[in-house]
Amino acid sequence: MNRRTINMFPKFLLRRWHMFFWMITATSVFFWVILLAKRRHETQVVLNNGLYGRKLRDEGHQPGNPHLKKPLMKIENSELHKTIMNASKLLTNQLFENLPMDKIGLIYKDILNWSHIVSDDELDPLLNRHKFAYHLTTSTCRDGSPDILIFVHSGCDHFAKRQLVRKTWGSVKTVRGLSFRTVFMLGETRNQTLQKVIETESLLRGDIVQGNFADTYKNLTYKHIMSLGWILKECPAIKLIVKLDDDTMLNTYNLVDYFHLPGAKDRLLYCSVYYRQGPLRHNRTKWYVSPSEYPFQKFPNYCEGFGYVMSPDVARSLYKASEDARYFWVDDVYVTGILTLKVGLTLSDFIGGFSYKRDATSNMNIKRAMFMSGVRNWESMWNDIFPNVTSV
């Protein structure tokens, strides 16, 4: 190559710089599109397998089995696929590899060691020392303790959802001799106008408890532990505790039928159990859990958070266990997973006839469901459960 050719090469690059720029840009974009598509496909396979497995199990087509060795077949039914994809709360799940029990035991031991607080300096004033204060509270249990206390996690501005509860299943106070009371659990808001509306609602309805922490998604663990503490102090004579999210409907009649089933009702935590799941590590979702927040690839078995049933002795044990358990913001995992692991409690999974209905497209008999989430028309469904219900 002669000197003239060498001298002309930079000039050629300068004249064609835009062509090289777009070639490099297009290659980079193509690479990232392929990478993101691959990750999305892998995540979707995980979700479809896990959700479809639970769907089959709920409808009695497949026995509960936490040790599935093969991924379930691809979903062909478009309606069922739509139903499953709408169940967005389940996005925190991943399939668990088949591990031997001794390996699982070591993982659980590591989780307990990590969660245990050994220094007083690490104790959280609210979570561990239980120094909760209440901007608002209610005398629900002081006026005569109910048999069943239902506490509902609700947001400060969820007025319509709370009203729907009061107009439907929350309007029922007694079923076959068992009395019910419902309490809404809130955190605090800095919006003074919103706070005044909540105070007015509390004055009119008398069913709100508001704690001294910000009402945010990552403070749900505070709300959960506060709820247990408030119930144990204010309602010591109750026979059963039910936890709900405010977008979940409760079939109180099905609950009473379950209560009257033979068998002991102590050491009871009855729920839809997630077996051997792991944290979601994709940081573009609100369910993202970083390794610094939770360093393990697996969770203990825990309850799906939309609704569960608990005996008072279990509430007492879990509340006590939180005194030296490290804060973790995924409240379902913390309360019904880490704390139950700590106290040695085995979760009771839903049984047929006393389970849950995911949404209105499911063909499950709603009178044989205890919880219903994703319901589009609450009042219509409630009338199907009990046509003569009296609204507030």
Q: Which of 22, 51, 86 is the last residue of a domain?
A: 86
Cα distance between the two ends of the chain:
93
Per-residue pLDDT of 70-102, as tens digits, reads: 333 333 344 433 333 333 233 333 333 455 556
Per-residue pLDDT of 26-71, as tens digits, reads: 676 666 666 665 555 444 434 444 443 343 344 333 333 332 223 3
- Do 282 and 380 fall within a single domain? yes
- Do 44 and 123 fall within a single domain? no
Quote the pTM value.
Answer: 0.74
- Do 80 and 114 fall within a single domain? no
Per-residue pLDDT of 170-194, as tens digits, reads: 999 999 999 999 999 999 999 999 9
Per-residue pLDDT of 97-122, as tens digits, reads: 455 556 667 888 999 999 999 999 99
Nearest-angstrom CA–CA distance, 76 and 61 = 16
Q: Which helix (H) or strand (E) holds 280?
A: none
Specify the pLDDT at position 54: 42
- Do 253 and 309 fall within a single domain? yes
Specify the pLDDT at position 145: 85
Q: Residue for token digits 């729907």?
A: 164
Pull the structure tokens for residue 84.
Answer: 């499953």
Specify the pLDDT at position 155: 97
Q: Which of 86, 114, 136 is the last residue of a domain?
A: 86
pLDDT at 390 over 90: no
| Helix/strand/coil for 64 | coil
Cβ 289 vs Cβ 279: under 8 Å: yes
Nearest-angstrom CA–CA distance, 221 and 273 = 18
Share of residues in the chain with pLDDT > 70 (%): 70
| Helix/strand/coil for 74 | coil
67 within some domain: yes
Nearest-angstrom CA–CA distance, 356 and 183 = 21
Q: What is the CA radius of gyration of the chain?
A: 25
- Do 158 and 37 fall within a single domain? no
- Do 200 and 72 fall within a single domain? no
Considering only 87-101, 234-248, 335-349, which range has the smallest mean pLDDT? 87-101
Mean pLDDT value of segment 223-250: 96
Specify the pLDDT at position 57: 40
Strands (E) located in 20-75? none
Residues in the chain: 392
Q: Which of 58, 86, 114 is the last residue of a domain?
A: 86
Give the residue numbers spanning the domain of 81. 3-86
Strands (E) located in the chain? 134-136, 148-153, 174-175, 178-188, 208-214, 240-245, 248-250, 269-271, 273-274, 302-303, 307-310, 348-349, 355-357, 369-373
**Structural domain count of the chain:** 2
What is the phi/psi pair of residue 273, to 5°? -90, 135
Specify the pLDDT at position 136: 97
Q: Residue for token digits 């159990």?
A: 273
Cβ 327 vs Cβ 336: under 8 Å: no
- Do 305 and 209 fall within a single domain? yes
96 within some domain: no
- Do 359 and 220 fall within a single domain? yes
What is the phi/psi pair of residue 135, to 5°? -70, -35
- Do 230 and 379 fall within a single domain? yes
- Do 165 and 288 fall within a single domain? yes
Specify the pLDDT at position 236: 93
